[in-house]
C-alpha cells in the first residue's frame, strides 16, 4: 500500500483521504512493532548490564583484602585498635563490612550514591548537604529523594580533636528526615591519613552495600564530592543518570568546577592563580604535538594525567561497575587520587597495544556534562602564601592556619604580600602555568604555542605586554620550559580584567556571573580575542567595547584605554562595566 501511494505521487495523481489514512495506520502499526522490539532489546540490555555490574561488584568484594599489602601491618593494627574494631572484623574486608553495618542498607530505588570525605568540616558540611536538597529532574521538578543517597566519611588524624562535623550532620538529618544521609567515622593513624585511603574506604562501603542488594531499579552511579561546596548544580543527579543511560559506553562524567566568585573578587592574586590554572588545564587536554609515547611520562605535570578530560575530586560521576573493575581508588595517594581514576579507566578501555606491548590509553569513555558546581578556593590560599602547594593541603601546620584564620584575614594577608611586587607575583603565576604547558606537551614548539594562547586569552600581546625572557630548550634529554617577563602594560591589563570581573559581580550578581562564566572559565566569556576578521579584527573585543563606551578615539592605543579606565572614579567604572555587559548580552 505504501509503495503504491509513492508511485501515485510520482505520477502526480490525486490521493484520497481514505488512502492517506490507511497508509498512516500502516506506518503507525509498523512503528509500534519497532518500538516494542526496541523496548524488549533495551530490557534485555538492561538485564545484561545489571548482571555484569553484579559480577564486577562481587569480584571487587572478593579482592578487598588485597589492599592490606599496601601498608605496614602496624598501621592496620593501630587503625583497628584506636577505633575498637571487633576482633572478627580485623581485616580490610571485615572493616568494610563493619562500617557498612553501621549505616542503613542501600534502597532498591537508589540510583546514585554521592560520597564525601569530611575531615574537620564542621563549618562547611551543613551547607553542602543543604545544597543537595535542591535536586531537580530534567523538567525542573523536585527529584525523588529516594533516587540518591549521600554517604559521608567523617575522619580525623589520630591525636586531632574532634570538631562538630558529626553534630552538624545530625542537625541536618533532624531538619531534613526525607533525605538519605548516611555517615560513619574513623580515626586514622598517620600512615593511613590520606585522601586516597579515605575515598577508597568510602567507595568500598558503597560498593559492598550495593553488592548486598537483592533488588535494584537500575545500574548504580557514584558522584564524588568535597565537603566545602558552596553551590551544587540542581540537576547533577538527574543528568548523571540521563547521560550514562543515553551513552552506555561512558565510564565517567566531569562537570564544570568553579570557585566562589565573591571570594575571588576580594583577592586579585587568588582570582588570577585559579583561572590561569583553569585555562592551562583546558589547553592541556589535546594531544596535538605530544610525543608518540606521551602516556609513558610519570613526572608531574605529566601528559598522561593532563592530556585528557580529567576526572576530578568533585562534580565528577562514575559508573559503580567501572570503579569496581579498575579496583577502586589508589589508597596510597595523598593528592591526585582523582586523576588516578581517569588514568586507570583509559588503560582499562585500551583497544590496542603499542610496539612495546603497552596499552594505548583510550580517552573516549570520559566526557563532560553540563553541570556547574561552586566550591571554596581555601586550599589554594597556601600556594599564594608561599607555604606550599595544593599537595601540602592537609598537613597540620598549613591546614590549621587555613582552617582557623578568618577568610577575610587570610585574603588581607595575601593581598598585602601580593601588592608589594605585583609584576613579579603576576609573572610568577603565569610562568608556573607556562611550565605546566611545556611539561605536558613535551614539545618545544607546541609548549610555546599553547603558552602564547594562554597569554592571549588574558589580553596580553607579545613584546608590548610581555617578552620571552628565556626560550625553552632540551637539557640532558629533558625540557627546560621558557619563561616570560611581564611589562607594566601587561600588569595593567591583568588589573583591568580583574576590575571587569569584580564590578561584574557587583552589578550583575553572582548568579549571572556564574551563568555567563564572566571572568571564570576560561576568562571573560563571550568576548573575542584577536579574531582574524570582522569588526574586532586583530583586537581584543573587551578592550574595544570599553573604548567605545568611553568615547575614545581609535588613535588611542590599548594601553592608554586601559590606563584611562583604571583611573576613573569607582562609580564610573561600575557603570561602564554594567553597560559593557548589557551591550554584549542585552537586558
Domains of the chain, start order:
2-61 (no CATH), 63-259+300-368 (3.90.550.10), 503-585 (no CATH)
What is the rounded CA–CA span in Å between residue 43 and residue 49? 10
Residue count of the chain, please give it: 587
> What string of H, E and C letters represents the secondary structure of 513-543?
HHHHCECCCCCECCCCECCCCCCCCCCEHHH
User: What confidence score (pLDDT) does residue 389 get?
Assistant: 44
Q: Which residues contact 280 (CB under 8 A, 6 or more apart)?
A: 433, 436, 437, 454
What is the rounded CA–CA span in Å between residue 283 and residue 441? 10
What is the rounded CA–CA span in Å between residue 519 and residue 151? 34
User: What confidence score (pLDDT) does residue 586 get?
Assistant: 72
User: What confidence score (pLDDT) does residue 391 get?
Assistant: 43
What is the rounded CA–CA span in Å between residue 503 and residue 498? 9
Phi then psi for residue 222, to 5 deg, are -120, 145
User: What confidence score (pLDDT) does residue 13 get?
Assistant: 73
Phi then psi for residue 441, to 5 deg, are -75, -25
* Among 264, 273, 226, residue whose Cα is nearest residue 383: 273
Beta bridge mates, 150: 114, 181
pTM of the model: 0.88
Q: Peptide bond preceding 293: is omega within 30 degrees of 0, i.e. cis? A: no
Residues of the chain short of pLDDT 70, as ranges, are 1-2, 5, 8-10, 298-300, 379-404, 516-525, 587
User: What confidence score (pLDDT) does residue 264 get?
Assistant: 87
Helix ranges (H only) for 63-134 are 73-82, 92-101, 125-131
By CB neighbour count within 10 A (0-12 exposed, 13-18 middle, 19+ buried), where does 14 fall?
Answer: exposed
Q: Which residues contact 48 (CB under 8 A, 6 or more apart)?
A: none
Amino acid at each position: 500500500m505504501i509503495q503504491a501511494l509513492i508511485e501515485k505521487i510520482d505520477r502526480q495523481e490525486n490521493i484520497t483521504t481514505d488512502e492517506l489514512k490507511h497508509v498512516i495506520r500502516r506506518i503507525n502499526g509498523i512503528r509500534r512493532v519497532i518500538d516494542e522490539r526496541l523496548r524488549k532489546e533495551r530490557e534485555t540490555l538492561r538485564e545484561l548490564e545489571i548482571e555484569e555490574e553484579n559480577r564486577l561488584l562481587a569480584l571487587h568484594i572478593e579482592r578487598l583484602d588485597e589492599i592490606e599489602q599496601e601498608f605496614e601491618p602496624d598501621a592496620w593494627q593501630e587503625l583497628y585498635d584506636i577505633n575498637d574494631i571487633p576482633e572478627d572484623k580485623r581485616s580490610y574486608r571485615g572493616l568494610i563490612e563493619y562500617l557498612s553495618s553501621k549505616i542503613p542498607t542501600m534502597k532498591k530505588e537508589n540510583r546514585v550514591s554521592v560520597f564525601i570525605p569530611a575531615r574537620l568540616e564542621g563549618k562547611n558540611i551543613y551547607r553542602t548537604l543543604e545544597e543537595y536538597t535542591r535536586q531537580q529532574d530534567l523538567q525542573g521538578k523536585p527529584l525523588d529523594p529516594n533516587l540518591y543517597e549521600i554517604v559521608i566519611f567523617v575522619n580525623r588524624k589520630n591525636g586531632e580533636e574532634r570538631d562538630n562535623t558529626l553534630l552538624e550532620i545530625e542537625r541536618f538529618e533532624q531538619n531534613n528526615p526525607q533525605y538519605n544521609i548516611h555517615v560513619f567515622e574513623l580515626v586514622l593513624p598517620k600512615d593511613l591519613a590520606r585522601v586516597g585511603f579515605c575515598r577508597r574506604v568510602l567507595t568500598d562501603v558503597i560498593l559492598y552495600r550495593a553488592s548486598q542488594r537483592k533488588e535494584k531499579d537500575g545500574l548504580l552511579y557514584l558522584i564524588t564530592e568535597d565537603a566545602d561546596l558552596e553551590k551544587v548544580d540542581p540537576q547533577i543527579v538527574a543528568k548523571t543518570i540521563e547521560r550514562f543511560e543515553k551513552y552506555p559506553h561512558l565510564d565517567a562524567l566531569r562537570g564544570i568546577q568553579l570557585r566562589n566568585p565573591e571570594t575571588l573578587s576580594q583577592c586579585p592574586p587568588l582570582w588570577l592563580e585559579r583561572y590561569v590554572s583553569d585555562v592551562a588545564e583546558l589547553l592541556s587536554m589535546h594531544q596535538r604535538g605530544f610525543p608518540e609515547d606521551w602516556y609513558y611520562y610519570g613526572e608531574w605535570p605529566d601528559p598522561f594525567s593532563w592530556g585528557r578530560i580529567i576526572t576530578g575530586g568533585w562534580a565528577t560521576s562514575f559508573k559503580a561497575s567501572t570503579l569496581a573493575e579498575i579496583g577502586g581508588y589508589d589508597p596510597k595517594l595523598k593528592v591526585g587520587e582523582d586523576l588516578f581514576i581517569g588514568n586507570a579507566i583509559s588503560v582499562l578501555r585500551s583497544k590496542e597495544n603499542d610496539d612495546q606491548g603497552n596499552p594505548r590509553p583510550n580517552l573516549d569513555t570520559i566526557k563532560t556534562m553540563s553541570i556547574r558546581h561552586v566550591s571554596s578556593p581555601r586550599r589554594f590560599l597556601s600556594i599564594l602564601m608561599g607555604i606550599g602547594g595544593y599537595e601540602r593541603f592537609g598537613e597540620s601546620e598549613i591546614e590549621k592556619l587555613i582552617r582557623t584564620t578568618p577568610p577575610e584575614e587570610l585574603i588581607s594577608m595575601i593581598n598585602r604580600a601580593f601588592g608589594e611586587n605585583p609584576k613579579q607575583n603576576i609573572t610568577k603565576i603565569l610562568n608556573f602555568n607556562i611550565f605546566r604547558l611545556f611539561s605536558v606537551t613535551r614539545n618545544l614548539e607546541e609548549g610555546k604555542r599553547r603558552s602564547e594562547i594562554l597569554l592571549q586569552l588574558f589580553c596580553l600581546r607579545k613584546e608590548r605586554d610581555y617578552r620571552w625572557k628565556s626560550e625553552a630548550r632540551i637539557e640532558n634529554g629533558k625540557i627546560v620550559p621558557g619563561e616570560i617577563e611581564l611589562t607594566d602594560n601587561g600588569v595593567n591589563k591583568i588589573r583591568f580584567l580583574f576590575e571587569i570581573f569584580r564590578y561584574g559581580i557587583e552589578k550583575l550578581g553572582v548568579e549571572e556571573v556564574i551563568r555567563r562564566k564572566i571572568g571564570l572559565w576560561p576568562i571573560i566569556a563571550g568576548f573575542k580575542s584577536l579574531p582574524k576578521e570582522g569588526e574586532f579584527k586583530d583586537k581584543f573585543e573587551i578592550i574595544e567595547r570599553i573604548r567605545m563606551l568611553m568615547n575614545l578615539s581609535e588613535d588611542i592605543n590599548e594601553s592608554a584605554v586601559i590606563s584611562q579606565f583604571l583611573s576613573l572614579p569607582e562609580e564610573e567604572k561600575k557603570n561602564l562595566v554594567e553597560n559593557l555587559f548589557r551591550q554584549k548580552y542585552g537586558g
